[in-house]
Amino acid sequence: MILPLDKNLVGTRSKKIQYFYHSCMILPVHISCSTGISSLKTDNFVMKLLFELSGENPTLPRAELECVATVLDGRMQVAVAECPNPDAAHRLAMTHIVLKYLGECAPDIHSFRQLLQELAIETSRPFSGRVKKVHTGYHFRDACSQRDFERLIGTMITGPVRLRNPEVEFRAILSEDRCYFGRVLYRINRGSYNERNPGRRDFFHPGVMMPRMARTLVNLSCAGSRDCLLDPFCGTGGILIEADALGIRVIGSDADPVMIAGCRENISQSSLIIADATRLPFSDFRVDAIVTDFPYGQSVCIRKTDTMEQLYHNTLLEISRVLRPGCRAVVVTHRNIAGIANEYLKIVQRHTQRVHKSLTRQILVLRKRS
Confidence of residue 1 (pLDDT cuts 50, 70, 90): low
Residue (of 275, 370, 273) closest to 328 by Cα position: 370
Q: Which pLDDT score is estimated for 25?
A: 32
Confidence of residue 30 (pLDDT cuts 50, 70, 90): very low
Confidence of residue 303 (pLDDT cuts 50, 70, 90): low
Integer angstrom CA distances of residue 213 from 126, 188, 342: 37, 15, 24
Indicate if 218 and 167 belong to the same structural domain: no
Indicate if 179 and 215 belong to the same structural domain: no
Q: Which pLDDT score is estimated for 11?
A: 40
pLDDT at 129 over 80: yes
Gyration radius from the chain CA atoms: 24
Asked if the structure places residue 5 within a domain, the reply is no
Asked if the structure places residue 7 within a domain, the reply is no
Indicate if 172 and 203 belong to the same structural domain: no
Confidence of residue 138 (pLDDT cuts 50, 70, 90): low
Indicate if 263 and 360 belong to the same structural domain: yes
8 A C-beta contact, residue 254 and residue 263: yes
Confidence of residue 2 (pLDDT cuts 50, 70, 90): low
Indicate if 181 and 206 belong to the same structural domain: no
Q: What is the DSSP string of 292-345?
A: EE---STTSSS-TT--HHHHHHHHHHHHHHHEEEEEEEEEEESS--HHHHTTTS
pLDDT digits 0-9 by tens, 315-341: 999 999 999 999 999 999 999 999 999
Question: Which of the residue ranges 137-141, 244-248, 317-321 would you say has the lowest mean pLDDT?
Answer: 137-141
8 A C-beta contact, residue 127 and residue 168: yes
Asked if the structure places residue 110 within a domain, the reply is yes
**Residue 14 to residue 22: CA distance in whole angstroms:** 22
8 A C-beta contact, residue 166 and residue 127: yes
**Residue 323 to residue 331: CA distance in whole angstroms:** 13
8 A C-beta contact, residue 81 and residue 51: yes
Q: Which pLDDT score is estimated for 309?
A: 92
Q: Which pLDDT score is estimated for 136?
A: 64
Question: Which of the residue ranges 28-42, 113-127, 316-330 would you say has the lowest mean pLDDT?
Answer: 28-42
Report angle CA 207, 213, 218 to the nearest 5 degrees.
120
pLDDT digits 0-9 by tens, 228-239: 999 999 999 999
Question: Which of the residue ranges 191-195, 197-201, 224-228, 278-282 would you say has the lowest mean pLDDT?
Answer: 191-195
Please tell me whether the peptide bond between 50 and the residue prior to it is cis, using omega within 30 degrees of 0. no
Indicate if 208 and 264 belong to the same structural domain: yes
8 A C-beta contact, residue 142 and residue 100: no
**Residue 102 to residue 116: CA distance in whole angstroms:** 10
Could you tell me what percent of the chain has a pLDDT over 90?
Answer: 76
User: Phi then psi for 302, rounded to 5 degrees?
Assistant: -130, 170
What is the arithmetic mean of pLDDT over 217-245?
97
Q: Three-state SS across 32-99? A: CCCCCCEECCCCCCCEEEEEEECCCCCCHHHHHHHHCCEEEEEECCEEEEEECCHHHHHHCCCEEEEE
List beta partners, residue 53: 95
Confidence of residue 268 (pLDDT cuts 50, 70, 90): confident
CATH code for the domain in which residue 63 is found: 3.30.2130.30
CATH code for the domain in which residue 307 is found: 3.40.50.150
Indicate if 242 and 321 belong to the same structural domain: yes
Question: Which of the residue ranges 130-144, 167-181, 196-210, 353-367 would you say has the lowest mean pLDDT?
Answer: 130-144
Who's near 337: CB < 8 A, 6+ residues apart?
312, 331, 362, 364
What is the arithmetic mean of pLDDT over 348-363?
94
Share the mean pLDDT of the chain: 87
What domain range is 26 assigned to? Answer: 17-187
pTM: 0.86
pLDDT at 106 over 90: yes
Q: Which pLDDT score is estimated for 33?
A: 28
Asked if the structure places residue 248 within a domain, the reply is yes
Query: Last residue of some domain: 187, 215, 237?
Result: 187
pLDDT at 258 over 50: yes
Count how many domains the chain has. 2
Q: Which pLDDT score is estimated for 34?
A: 31
Q: Which pLDDT score is estimated for 167?
A: 97
User: Phi then psi for 52, rounded to 5 degrees?
Assistant: -90, 115
Who's near 3: CB < 8 A, 6+ residues apart?
21, 103, 104, 105
